[in-house]
């Protein structure tokens, strides 16, 4: 199996393909200077969503998921596997209840993790190390009756939108939403009938910022 390139090797591959110097490439994608890229080269930084978005906006042939993770191939049109889903560059807990009013920033070609409807970023802290802040979550809309206890879901209610682990509650007709960081975040108990919509977390793209 071909060894996956590290962060800098992927950046360098794009720079060489574009036939640019590192400093010119940095200016071309809108970075004030090449220092950010050199920090990636030194291993101090990963490839952030911002840097990936800047590169893909200038070079749409380059696959964003490959840039961020090294999975797949450099050029999106060469990808054989995976489906495209819309990516909304907003926090999932803030934006998903207003999805019909949002415009997708781009598409992500995702590896086969089951059918997904969309991707959003998670910037909260309640999920702790299970879903670290900055993670892109791959989501599938499901019926509330299809919730499987122990799974991670985005739950949309009239008064609250949250990404939590869903577990059965002691009382019938209720669910208990459990944080990944239980030391600092309490459980939330909800009436099932108060749930407006549910999105199952089908995959997580944990990104170094």
**Residues in CB range of 119: below 8 A, 6 or more apart:** 85, 86, 87, 88, 108, 110, 136, 137, 138, 139, 205
**Average pLDDT for residues 136-152, to the nearest whole number?**
91
Which of the residue ranges 38-47, 51-60, 190-199 has the most confident prediction, judged by mean pLDDT? 190-199
Q: Quick one: pLDDT band at residue 141, thresholds 50, 70, 90?
A: very high
Nearest in space to 144 (alpha carbons), one of 67, 196, 185: 196
Nearest in space to 104 (alpha carbons), one of 124, 119, 116, 123: 119
Cα distance between residue 186 and residue 178, in whole Å: 7
> Do the beta carbons of residue 116 and residue 84 sit within 8 Å?
no
* Cβ atoms within 10 Å, residue 71: 14
Please write the tens of the pLDDT for every residue from 184-196: 999 999 999 999 9
**What three-state secondary structure class fits 178?**
strand
CA 126 to chain centroid: 16
N-terminal to C-terminal alpha carbon distance within the chain:
28
pLDDT at residue number 143 = 92
- Angle at CA of residue 151, ends 145 and 156, nearest 5°: 60
């Amino acid at each position: 199996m071909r060894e996956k390139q590290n962060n800098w090797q992927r950046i360098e591959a794009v720079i060489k393909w574009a036939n640019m110097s590192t400093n010119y490439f940095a200016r071309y994608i809108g970075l004030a200077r090449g220092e950010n890229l050199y920090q990636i080269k030194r291993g101090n930084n990963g490839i952030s969503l911002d840097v990936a978005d800047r590169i893909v906006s200038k070079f749409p042939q380059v696959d964003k998921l490959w840039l961020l993770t090294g999975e797949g191939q450099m050029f999106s049109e060469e990808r054989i596997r995976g489906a495209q889903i819309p990516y909304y560059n907003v926090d999932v807990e803030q934006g998903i209840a207003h999805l019909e009013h949002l415009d997708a920033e781009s598409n992500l070609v995702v590896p086969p993790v089951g059918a997904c409807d969309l991707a959003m970023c998670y910037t909260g802290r309640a999920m702790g190390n299970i879903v670290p802040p900055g993670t892109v979550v791959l989501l599938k809309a499901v019926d509330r009756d299809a919730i499987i206890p122990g799974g991670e879901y985005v739950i949309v209610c009239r008064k609250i939108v949250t990404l939590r682990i869903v577990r059965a509650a002691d009382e019938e007709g209720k669910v208990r939403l459990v944080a990944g960081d239980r030391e600092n975040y309490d459980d939330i108990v909800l009436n099932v009938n108060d749930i407006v919509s549910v999105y199952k977390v089908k995959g997580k793209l944990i990104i170094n910022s």
